[in-house]
Amino acid sequence: MERPVAWTLYSKEQLAELEALSSDYIGFISRNKTERECVAEAIACAEAAGYRNLEDCIERGAQLKPGDGVYASMRGKSLILAKIGTDDLTRGINILGAHIDSPRMDLKQNPVEEKNDLVYLDTHYYGGIKKYQWVTIPLAIHGVVAKKDGSVVPVVVGEDASDPVFVITDLLIHLAREQLGKEASKVIEGEMLDVLAGNKPLSIEDEKDKKDPVKLQMLELLKERYGIEEEDFLSAELEVVPAGPARELGFDRSMILGYGHDDRSCSYSSLRAQLALNETPTRTALTILVDKEEIGSVGATGMGSRFFENVVAELLALTGHGEGTLALRRCLMNSNMLSSDVSAGFDPSFAGAFDTKNAAFLGRGLAFNKYTGSGGKGGSNDADAEYLARIRQVMDAHNVAWQTAELGKVDQGGGGTIAYILANYGVHVIDCGVPVLSMHAPWEVISKADLYEAYRGYCAFLTLE
């Protein structure tokens, strides 16, 4: 059951729309490389589209009516947007759920160290990565530093053309005989992911009496530019990510090379689909942009928290359902969801890792994964056949290019998403997303056509009744 190549299906008008969407997406992922940055821009877009802060509505006791759009943020790192439909919420809502965190390295709480006239920043990697992929490439630092006086200082270094960049060094080939004999997982180990950050000592009259003069010089620069001291690293969230913008890939410019396609290709297209709802929907439409998926959906900003449940409860209260839990349970039990997360794109260079009959191919559209998990579907949400049939119907009705896939051969590995968490509420949910090459690498690859079909598919899903 081979699916058609989406590129062959487009009119001139659709190709123009595809290119416009892709251009906007390239800008989005180039600007927003952390969860905080994604949430801040998403809120700005939502407010421009007329969405109001849910907290303000709660404080004023304002009742929500069909057509109203609201948003709720959890500590600036997760976001929920909702547009109220004409149906009673207890009949269910349509949910798009994607994550906005991506694999990276985080600075440790006490990161600064001078070694042999070089200053390094110690890191702890976040999410599943091949550590050797992160050496010898230009790196940037994004994040915030929270000071004891309550102020929060934003930090972005390495993105502007005038900025310095950072790097993790590697051993020269001439001395690497022992290194090259190691397993790939040990060629570069976690404690070797130290970011090179300085070499120039502080200009002082009697340098020999000063300990760590290069470190002192770097700290002096940080104090001058950001007003922060070394101890302020204790209350900082600073993420080390690949430096530079996303780019078009290929002579035909058909693909996008960028950091964070997993899962910002799905979160961006979900956001765009949500905000494209100009008319009042029948069922309330809700989009979740969530943190911490790459490390198990834990913590207050992860999908495993009560944030989602609490927001839905508030929506029910503001639409006249009171503050009891029964309406909440009914609402969720009757709801539909697309767990919008990327899929492994088939890579001919590594064909042996895939079952080609059940693989996602670049350029063939939005990929649906009935199940994920590993080792006998362990940790998976396995969508029921009836729900998948409904999804097929709505996608075909809107002429969306789509395909089905699984995450490689049965015993090859596997992975999970946020789907199982929503399934715990009884929500009908299936995984779907954009096929990606080099997933979890510093630079990943997607097809513009698949991004466009994800957007079109999410728009179609929000019409599901």
Kindly give the confidence (pLDDT) of every residue in the chain, 465 residues in length, as a single tens digit, with 9 standing for 90 and above.
778 899 999 999 999 999 999 999 999 999 999 999 999 999 999 999 999 999 999 999 899 999 999 999 999 999 999 999 999 999 999 999 999 999 999 999 999 999 999 999 999 999 999 999 999 999 999 999 999 999 999 999 999 999 999 999 999 999 999 999 999 999 999 999 999 999 999 876 655 567 889 999 999 999 999 999 999 999 999 999 999 999 999 999 999 999 999 999 999 999 999 999 999 999 999 999 999 999 999 999 999 999 999 999 999 999 999 888 899 999 999 999 999 999 999 999 999 989 899 999 999 999 999 888 778 887 788 889 999 999 999 999 999 999 999 888 787 777 888 889 999 999 999 999 999 999 999 999 999 999 999 999 999 999 998
Residue carrying structure tokens 């051969």: 409
Q: Is residue 252 part of a domain?
A: no
Q: Which of 216, 242, 268 is the last residue of a domain?
A: 242
447 in the same domain as 298:
yes
- Listing DSSP states for 96-123 in one string gives EEEE---SEEEEEEEEEEEETTEEEEEE
What whole-number distance in Å separates Cα of residue 399 and Cα of residue 93? 23
93 in the same domain as 120:
no
CATH number at residue 74: 3.40.630.10
Contact 265, 342 (CB under 8 A): yes
What whole-number distance in Å separates Cα of residue 288 and Cα of residue 272? 12
pTM, entire model = 0.95
Q: Which of 213, 242, 271 is the last residue of a domain?
A: 242
Domain that holds residue 126: 104-242
74 in the same domain as 62:
yes
Domain count within the chain: 2
CATH number at residue 191: 2.30.250.10
* Rounded to 5°, angle at Cα 432 from 427 and 436: 150
132 in the same domain as 267:
no
188 in the same domain as 337:
no
129 in the same domain as 143:
yes
